[in-house]
Amino acid sequence: MTATEILSLLGAAMAAGAINAVAGGGTILTFPTLLAIGTPPVIANATSTVALVIGTGGSMYGFRKHFAGIRVWLWRFVPVSLLGGLIGSWLLTRTSNSVFAHLVPFLILFATLLFMVQGAIAGLVKRSAAGPARTPLIWPAVVFQFLVSIYGGFFGAGIGILMLATLGFIGLTDIHRMNALKNILGSLINVVAALMFIAGGLVDWPKAGVMTIGAVAGYFLGSHYSQKIPQLWVRRMVLAIGFTISAITFYRQFRS
């Protein structure tokens, strides 16, 4: 790696770690950066997942006081999350770079759109929680979580907001407990995917090492200074980057 590539990976991973600590969606930055420096698409996706997975421990630790209140839901959602993450990551190990490259523009666009509606869905969940109680739709939520987990194991960007919608189906009313459960499930999906990618030999370890350093620093800065960062600016920056990268990848695909 050149010095420019190392600095690019450090910067992207640091920004991704900070964004994940504040709002989520950091994969939108790390994955395209790896592509930009010539990493094959499948390797880039696997390397990005492994580099960012260390920060998941911190995200779970931050919500530890809410674990007692969500324990009853874990036996329903943890098994399907692990299985879905395993299936999704296995599918990636069986996907060629050429096929995945054709999916990249759509995956980035989908993740960016999810990030765009994140605030709106979170607002709907809060208003729904404040309204009258509803009959929990448990098993449809379990099935939906299984599908979300497959997507999470395969690509992963934007699964947080999808899981938040899932938890709304079961009638959870405490947004902090919802975030705690979402972080546990998302962390398990990412850990399973990372282990599958490592076992499949899909990780570019020098790049993953550089990005891990940046991601840890980003998670630390984001968790400590998130209250001082105008989140609207962060969201606008991520959206601009996401839509720009999506447009570029669509242009390159249809041009080739």
pLDDT digits (tens, 9 = 90+) for 191-200: 999 999 999 9
Is the Cβ–Cβ distance between 51 and 211 less than 8 Å? yes
Q: Is the pLDDT of residue 116 over 80?
A: no
Domain ranges of the chain: 3-255
| Residues whose CB is less than 8 angstroms from the CB of residue 34 and which lie 6 or more positions away in sequence, other chains included | 9, 43, 44, 47, 48, 204, 207
Q: Is the pLDDT of residue 101 over 60?
A: yes
Q: Is the pLDDT of residue 122 over 90?
A: no
DSSP structural state of residue 2: -
What's the CA gap between 77 and 62, in Å, rounded? 20
State the Rg of the chain over Cα.
Answer: 18
Q: Rounded to 5 degrees, what angle do the CA atoms 159, 161, 165 make?
A: 110
pLDDT digits (tens, 9 = 90+) for 144-169: 889 989 988 988 777 777 777 777 66
Residue 210: per-residue pLDDT: 93
Residue 123: per-residue pLDDT: 61
